[in-house]
Structure 1
Amino acid sequence: MEVSSDLEVDVNGQEIFCVNKKILASFSIKLSNLFENPGENTKKNMKVIFQDFPGGPAGFELIARFCYNNGIIEITHSNVVILNQVAKFMEMQKKVLGRPNLISQTEKFLEGIDCWTWSELLLALKHGQGLSFGANPVSSIQRLVDEVIERLALPCLATPSSVSSKSSSFRSSCDSKSTRSTKTSNFQRFWWFEELSELKMDVIDMLVKEMVKEKFDHPIISKFLFYYQRVRVFRASKVTRAKVIQKVITLLSLLDKRSISIKGLFDTLRIASSLKLRKSSKVQLELLIGSQLDQAALDDLLLPSPHGKSYTKYNVNLVLSFLKNFLLEGSINYKPCSYRLKKVARLVDLYASEIAPDARLKPSKFAALAMVIPDSARDSYDKIYQAIEIYLEVHPKLVEEQKMKICSVLNYEKLSPQVLNQLSRNTSFPMIAIVKALIHQNPKLKRAKSIKDACNFKGFSSFRNEAKEFKHREEVVIIKKLSTNEKLRAHLQEMGWSDVELEKICGKFQNQKAAHVMSTPQVCCISNVKHLPRLCS
């Protein structure tokens, strides 16, 4: 007998179904209450619009079959989650011909989850993951997620066959929360990475958060997230890739930062460089990398500039951001002279040598990079000197003030004698730096505490009386009279004379020094650097 179709059902704006309202209302309290309105019943045909129907058109089709088949439907692992959620949505608590309602049937099926095989469990999860989660996860999905976590936490976990199902006796020995924190230490093979990588991001979010809650090993979780990211972004659209990357970054931020692979973080950064991520995700990623910067290699930092050929070759701003994040965390978690900080200092010095030959690199950026590391982190300043040497050679048009700013990072006490000797003869450096190098080459001047001590040195005895004659600003008078005396000029710098005052006394010395350099064979500064920058090769 033909059944009339007097009800149109618009499911999420995706598809319209023509059904018999009496048949559906006999199973659904929601529809039954809707049709009880006398005014509405006078209409021959009606239309119902659902905006958030669970499972979409496929979910409605399942429930329609259930109703048209007089409350009979085969419940399987692939449809139980959707049937359960749709039954709750449509309020299908009615009993027909003495049979249990659909909610009861699906709940009873889900109660047997302990006896499901691993494949059946994943099948139910994959088919149910299309449901709209909203603020609160679907209860049946949460039940499946909990079961997956419980099985992954089994100490004997090795292959899918070992988690096919659980007997009650075995489960009772493995189900206490007190032992879950140690269960994952027995993981040897991660076959489940591939199994779970087929799940959508919402389910992965639930799984990872549950892993963190149950104290799974964070290195294992981070490895899984990087694996999931690699699988999901392959051949995906830019929009999908951006969503995956953002979700992975958010979940990684829940973990102990020291448990996250720095290589995985830089791989994530490279993928993200071509995508439009939320600003918050970018900041989170920079924080994660910054916290692990002592594990990075030079190649990791050589990130291309995002602005094209008219800008610097490398993304110096991003590296500076990493450094600031590292130092910010360090100010809280470890001492400034720690081993981690010293490793980063060596890395920065190598990076500075690599970017120094870039003609477009502004002196302010180079100076910021050189100065960001605290003095206590460098045992030697030889490497950063070499980087400065390259930069000044490649940028000959810098004014003296810019050179002085860059060279202010140098600690002459931590320069080797060989480097001090090079610096004292290097005309690319500002005169102040050369004078300071001369001071530290001369042990006597370095130990002098006053002009009187300086005048006691051999060659200065003739100036003793002049030093005594002046009560006010006596150093200024001595400077004017002895401006051509190299040792005294160097000593005055050691005594704390300002750069401006020293510049006044270095004029004649500059000409003399230039003449000396002209007569001395010079070696290209870059050849003195053991590590040749790639921009120079």
Structure 2
Amino acid sequence: MEALCDLQVDVNGEETFMVNKRIISSYSGRLGKLFSKSSCSTRNLKVIFNDFPGGAESFELMCRFCYNNGKIEITPLNTTLLSCAANFMEMSNSISGSDNLIEQTEKSLEEIRHWTWSELMVALRQCQNYFPVANKSGLLERCLDSVTVRLALASEPSPSPSTSSSDYSGVRFSCDTKSTESLKSSFSRATWWFEDLLITDESLLKMMVGSMIKQKLEHGTISKFLFFYQKSKFHTSVPHEKSKIMETVVDLLCSLEPSSIPCKSLFGILRVALGLSISKGCRNKLEIMIGSQMDQATLDNLLVPSPQGTNSLYDTNLVLRLVKAFLKEGTCGVPEVQLKKVANLMDLYIAEVAPDPCLKASKFLALAMVLPDFARDSFDDMYHAVDMYLEVHAGLSEEEKIKMCRALNYRKLSAKACKHLSENSKFPSKIITQALNSQQFKLKSLIRVSSNTSSIASSPCSCSDNIKKDEVGEQIVLYAGDLNLSTDNVRLRAQLQGMQSRVMELEKLCRKMQTQMTKVLRSRVSSSHKSRSLPRLCS
């Protein structure tokens, strides 16, 4: 008589089962092939599984199926367990003629769109626990698609009351974990599912986000979820786990539309990432993402403390990399509006770091010159920053001070700033002379522009041009009138005063021409009105 239990099965070291070898192997292709190759006696056989998906619980469910002639109740809560066990044991045969276990679980999965949200979360967690088998069999992909389809549908406007339950069954949610009131509020929030998906690890998170993108879930919502995931996971993670989470989140953010990622949030995780041992590649990706949105940054974002081991107050190297990333991202040309915003931001930052006694001159100069000259309409703020730096670093040599002034464009200094520079003892005399010469050249250029006004004023159609030139003349007078140069530059001051007189004469001429052109224009308009009042001839 055949022994009823002639096979021992050790399942992952959790539990040892005594089963009938013939019954189990008749359903399991894996055991069938194993015993067909074995030359051992039929008694005292033992099989050890170290990676059985679902462990002892899953194996027991499978045994019930085998001992019950290929029949078992399959529910959403055990479909994943049975599917993974069936694929692991290669249960594609059926001696009873009924569907095998793999086919039966497939039929159950066809109804996955009717599962409640909590049932989907159970299935998702199980797929994660049995990742290799669930992924290979395609079970994980189906589960992920079902979850993300549900999220995509839930993000759409709520259906009308007339929508039937069968038509809307794809977005039904479980009420066993949420009250009716909380469920209503869930529909009004785009983030109701964030906490539920914290069950995913880094590997599953990548697949989840990939599925979200495929289902066209809003990228802004995905980015919010990733920031939430990183922050929540860090509460219970050790340092090396945090590094892995950070690298995963950064990689996934790179796959989203840049405009969907808030600049403030990127700076938030940057500060966290700087304290972790993340890879250089991950850091570069994060800095490139921030650099592309540098025009949206604030001064507080840039004031990142310097790394340990450095004496300076702020991490100026980081800011340099971010600005360079900003310029590199705009290889086809950065829009002027964005460029000027970044220039204004850098002026604020440079003014903030200039008083740092540990900031090297080479680093200050690199910050001041990282942007092209045309990014700034005025260099007044830069001048004040250089002035502040020279005041704090009084020990610089004359040559070093001259080198620091390479950051300035003297032609873009206002009259007030130029006046201050001419009387500033912290600046070398050579620099003051260069600045005054530059201002002299600027005034000469403006005078030539004003002089050209007289040559084109005789044309009746140049009235608007004359007005513009007149405005330029006024600016020149104001500009030159504010200058009060030091006694060390008497010659230059005399020349500038002479030019100022010439500009005043040109201004009077411009005003006179403007008055004349206004009279001419009024006369033409009056004449035009009279001609229009005449009756038209009949055709």
TM bracket, shorter-chain basis = 0.7 to 0.9
For 1:110, the equivalent position in structure 2 comes to 109
For 1:77, the equivalent position in structure 2 comes to 76
CA–CA distance in structure 2, aligned partners of residues 106 and 215 of structure 1: 29
Task: Name the SS for the 1:154 alignment partner.
Answer: helix
For 1:123, the equivalent position in structure 2 comes to 122
Contact between 2:135 and 2:141, CA under 8 Å: does it hold in 1? no
Aligned CA RMSD, in angstroms, stands at 3.6
Q: Give the counterpart letter for 2:330 in structure 1.
A: G
**Distance apart, 1:239 and its partner CA:** 2.5
The correspondence of residues 140-219 of structure 1 with structure 2, limited to 5 A, is 140-154=139-153, 157=156, 167-168=166-167, 189-219=190-220
Contact between 1:158 and 1:188, CA under 8 Å: does it hold in 2? no
Contact between 1:66 and 1:73, CA under 8 Å: does it hold in 2? yes
Aligned-pair identity (%)? 44
Contact between 1:114 and 1:165, CA under 8 Å: does it hold in 2? no
**Distance apart, 1:212 and its partner CA:** 2.0
Contact between 1:380 and 1:415, CA under 8 Å: does it hold in 2? yes
The correspondence of residues 56-455 of structure 1 with structure 2, limited to 5 A, is 59-60=58-59, 62-64=61-63, 66-67=65-66, 71-133=70-132, 138-154=137-153, 157=156, 167-168=166-167, 189-308=190-309, 310-332=310-332, 334-335=334-335, 338-442=336-440
Contact between 1:79 and 1:128, CA under 8 Å: does it hold in 2? no
Q: Give the counterpart letter for 1:115 in structure 2.
A: H
CA–CA distance in structure 1, aligned partners of residues 240 and 201 of structure 2: 15
**Distance apart, 1:133 and its partner CA:** 4.4
For 1:454, the equivalent position in structure 2 comes to none
| CA pair 93-138 structure 1, distance change in 2 beyond 3 A | closer
**Higher Rg:** 2
**Distance apart, 1:323 and its partner CA:** 0.6
Q: Deviations over 1:171-214 (max 9, x none)?
A: 79xxxxxxxxxxxxx98633222333333333332222122233
Residue 54 in structure 1 maps to residue 53 in structure 2: yes
CA–CA distance in structure 1, aligned partners of residues 382 and 133 of structure 2: 54
Give the unaligned 5+ runs of structure 1: 173-185, 450-483, 492-537
CA–CA distance in structure 1, aligned partners of residues 121 and 491 of structure 2: 83
Q: Deviations over 1:200-236 (max 9, x none)?
A: 3333322221222333322222122212222222232
Moved more, 363-372 or 89-98: 89-98
For 1:497, the equivalent position in structure 2 comes to none
**Distance apart, 1:39 and its partner CA:** 2.7
Contact between 1:393 and 1:428, CA under 8 Å: does it hold in 2? yes
Q: Give the counterpart letter for 2:222 in structure 1.
A: I
CA–CA distance in structure 2, aligned partners of residues 120 and 165 of structure 1: 22
For 1:34, the equivalent position in structure 2 comes to 34
Give the unaligned 5+ runs of structure 2: 172-186, 448-486, 495-539
Q: Give the counterpart letter for 2:349 in structure 1.
A: Y
For 1:535, the equivalent position in structure 2 comes to none
Q: Deviations over 1:442-470 (max 9, x none)?
A: 46986699xxxxxxxxxxxxxxxxxxxxx
CA–CA distance in structure 1, aligned partners of residues 232 and 343 of structure 2: 35
For 2:177, the equivalent position in structure 1 comes to none
Q: Give the counterpart letter for 1:216 in structure 2.
A: L
**Distance apart, 1:417 and its partner CA:** 1.2
| CA pair 22-403 structure 1, distance change in 2 beyond 3 A | farther
Task: Name the SS for the 1:331 alignment partner.
Answer: coil
**Distance apart, 1:294 and its partner CA:** 0.9
CA–CA distance in structure 2, aligned partners of residues 81 and 124 of structure 1: 6
Task: Name the SS for the 1:91 alignment partner.
Answer: coil
Contact between 2:6 and 2:44, CA under 8 Å: does it hold in 1? no
**Distance apart, 1:24 and its partner CA:** 3.3
CA–CA distance in structure 2, aligned partners of residues 232 and 295 of structure 1: 28
Contact between 1:115 and 1:165, CA under 8 Å: does it hold in 2? no
Aligned positions, number: 438
Task: Name the SS for the 2:131 alignment partner.
Answer: coil
Q: Give the counterpart letter for 2:149 in structure 1.
A: E
CA–CA distance in structure 1, aligned partners of residues 34 and 317 of structure 2: 61
Contact between 1:29 and 1:90, CA under 8 Å: does it hold in 2? yes
**Distance apart, 1:243 and its partner CA:** 2.0
Q: Deviations over 1:429-449 (max 9, x none)?
A: 233322222224546986699
Contact between 2:84 and 2:134, CA under 8 Å: does it hold in 1? no
Contact between 1:117 and 1:165, CA under 8 Å: does it hold in 2? no
**Distance apart, 1:367 and its partner CA:** 0.7
